[in-house]
Each structure stands twice: as C-alpha cells, then as structure tokens.
Amino acid sequence: MAVTILGIESSCDDTSAAVWQDGNMLANLIANQDVHKRYGGVVPELASRAHQQNIVPVVDQALERAGVTRQELSAVAFTKGPGLMGSLLVGTSFAKALAMGLGVPLIEVNHMEAHVLAHFIEEPRPSFPFLCLTVSGGHTQIIRVDDYLSMELIGETRDDAAGETFDKTGKLLGLPYPSGPVIDKRAAEGNPHAFSFPEPKIPGCSFSFSGLKTSILYFVQEKEQEDPDFINNNMADICASVQYRIISILLSKLKRAAGETGIDHVAIAGGVSANRELRQRFHDTGQERGWHTCIPRFDYCTDNAAMIAMAGYYKYLEGQFTDQSVTPVARYPINR
Ligand code: KG4
Ligand code: ZN
C-alpha cells in the first residue's frame, strides 16, 4: 500500500501543507503572511493568528491538489520546533487533532533537520556522509549528515544568523522585510568591492555576525554625515558589498569544515540558500575543491511543508511516532 504523508509547517510566518506519496511530492502549498511587512519583521502574535486562519484552507487545498483524501493518509507530520511558540502551537494542535481523528500516527519533526532533508525531495540527492550549511532567518549551522536521521552539529553562530544580518541590514537601508531577496536583487547591479566590511575572527567552524552588523551600522551613519542621501546614492553597491562579506564568511567556514572532516559531498539549505550569489559562489568553490555539491530548488530552500513531509516519511519508515502528549518547543537542538 502507498505511504502517504501529510506535512504541516507553521514555525514562523508561513503556513504550509504538503503531501508526499511514494517518492513524489504531490503538493506543497504555502500561505505567506503579508501582515508583517509594515512592521519590518515578524510579529509573533499576528503570526499565530494568521496561522489559525490559514491552516484549514491550506491543508484542504494541499490534499485537493494532491488528489488525496484524508482517509488515504498514512501519517501526519508537523514541525515541533524550533520556532515561535504561538505559531508552532497552531500547527502542532491541528496535527494532533487530525491524527487522532483519523486514527493515524503522529510524527514530530525538527525544522532544521527538515531543511537538510529537503535535499531528498527530488534529484540530484546527496550521498552520505555530507556536510550541510543551513542558513535561515534564525539559524546558521554546519551539520554533518551521516544518514537521514543521523546528524551532528559541527558549528553554528554564536550570536545572529546570516538571514537576520540580511534582514537587519535591509531595515537599516529602508528596504522591505524580508530583505534577503531584495538585497539579492539590488546587489546584482552593484560592485561587491565598493566598500569593505570586516571578516570576524572566530575560531573553528563557529560563526558570528553581530560585529559585522554593527560595522554596517557605523559605516552607514558615518557616510550619512558626509552625504545625507548616501544610502539612496549607493544602494546597489552597499547591498553588493554586504552580501559579498556575508557569503565570504559562510563559505570560508564551510571550506574549513570540509577540510577538517575530509567530507567532499557538500550541500546548502535554508532560506538564505535561495540567494543567487551564494548559489553561484558555492558552486564555484565546489568546482575548485572537487566537491560534489547539492542545492535544493528555490521552493524547497525557504520554509515549506514539503521538507516536513519528507522528514516525516523517513521517521515513518523507522516507526518513530509521537504520542498525543507532545508539545512544541521554541528551541530544539538537532538529533534529539
Ligand atoms: O528558512 P527561512 O525561510 O525561514 C527561517 O526558518 O528563518 O529563511 C528566511 C530567511 C530570511 O532572513 C530571508 O531574508 C532569507 O532567508 N532569504 C534570503 C533570500 N531569500 C530568503 N537571503 C538572501 N537572499 C535571498 N534570496
Ligand atoms: Zn526555516
């Protein structure tokens, strides 16, 4: 009989539902929440209210698009964490109720592990072991992946995440939220070497972005004293230079991790991996170093339920089910 998994994602500001059936992602629906745009960042209370409004129609539409009835579902997988508590609660409660009503297993998924498993949704799939640089709005991690459900954290940020650095820089420059995709676009017209921002000296495979964030703030404030219209006059060059530095930091740590572990299958995941320059420079670095590189397609980089369904499928095969006492967690280390 076909194994059919419904995935539900609600960790931040996207409500998403996906249906995976025997090797095919039949549907992956995402409802974005525009309500946060005017605040320059995600407002947790508004996010959970929007999830409540979206969750039923998004799940219904995902099933309809997949051509699957609720009765055909083998299990319901949901994001247990990490994320915003109010947002996670909506997806978790819905998944618990649906699984109980249908009498099918409930499967909890770690959002960060799911970003890694997004690589297995379609070809080309990485081979084990591989390293995955997972870069999102809240996380920057290098993970060693030995199997679908066996992962080890090799390094992570000590302070801010790479995506947050894109978003905070955008806020400073007066760009809309989320700023990562906007900076990506504006940077394409700019000179990445127009301005120079420092690379932090952090040992090992750990990251730090708080110093870079502060240096961008001081740089802009100083320049605005000379030219009050400095930002508008130099937008593309500022975006290109900031983006260049963020990506250099990411790739230098990834090269270090590959050197130290001797692993040459290397992947990137998470929202920031949608960045065009990161994808290009990651590809070029891979060619230089003889890596086998793997990047998911755009829709599977940013938050989506397809990756939750994928992770749920591997847990289903291992019989890793969750009971109805489960509660979401804002912090959730990988492989726990
Ligand atoms: O994985 P994700 O969708 O959500 C979290 O789990 O955080 O990542 C969102 C982050 C945001 O910071 C957003 O600005 C960034 O990914 N992002 C990008 C791009 N697309 C999304 N950053 C740089 N370039 C992009 N094209
Ligand atoms: Zn994410």
pLDDT in tens, 206-216: 999 999 999 99
**Run of H or E including 29:** strand 24-32
- pLDDT band with cut points at 50, 70 and 90 for residue 35: confident
* Distance (Å) from CA 310 to ligand 2 centroid: 14
CA pair distance 5, 2, nearest whole angstrom: 10
CATH topology of domain 124-296: Nucleotidyltransferase; domain 5 (3.30.420)
Name the maximum alpha-carbon separation found in the chain.
70
* Distance (Å) from CA 170 to ligand 1 centroid: 12
pLDDT at 42: 84
CATH superfamily of 4-117+302-317: ATPase, nucleotide binding domain (3.30.420.40)
Span(s) in the chain for CATH 3.30.420.40: 4-117+302-317, 124-296
* Distance (Å) from CA 313 to ligand 2 centroid: 19
Ligand 1: residue of 16, 133, 136, 156 to mutate (most ligand atoms within 8 A of CB) is 136
Closest by CA to 119, choosing from 154, 145, 83, 142, is 145
Average pLDDT over residues 140-151: 98
| CA within 13 Å, CB half, 185 | 8
pLDDT in tens, 247-260: 999 999 999 999 99
Return the number of other C-beta atoms located less than 10 Å from residue 185's C-beta: 13
Which amino acid is residue 128, in one-letter code?
A: F
pLDDT at 36: 79
Query: Which ligand places an atom closest to the C-alpha of 302?
Result: 1
pLDDT at 113 over 80: yes
Q: What is the pTM of this model?
A: 0.95
What residues line ligand 1, using a CB cutoff of 6 Å? Answer: 12, 136-138, 163, 166-167, 178-181, 184, 270-272, 274-275, 302-303
pLDDT at 288: 98
- pLDDT band with cut points at 50, 70 and 90 for residue 41: confident
Query: Which ligand places an atom closest to the C-alpha of 163?
Result: 1
Query: Which ligand places an atom closest to the C-alpha of 277?
Result: 1
- Among 27-36, 98-107, 224-233, which is the least confidently predicted range? 27-36
- Pseudo-torsion of CA 158, 161, 167, 171, nearest 10°? 0
Name beta bridge partners: 114: none
- pLDDT band with cut points at 50, 70 and 90 for residue 336: low
pLDDT at 37: 79
Q: Residues 94, 57, 119, CA angle at the centre, nearest 5°? A: 75
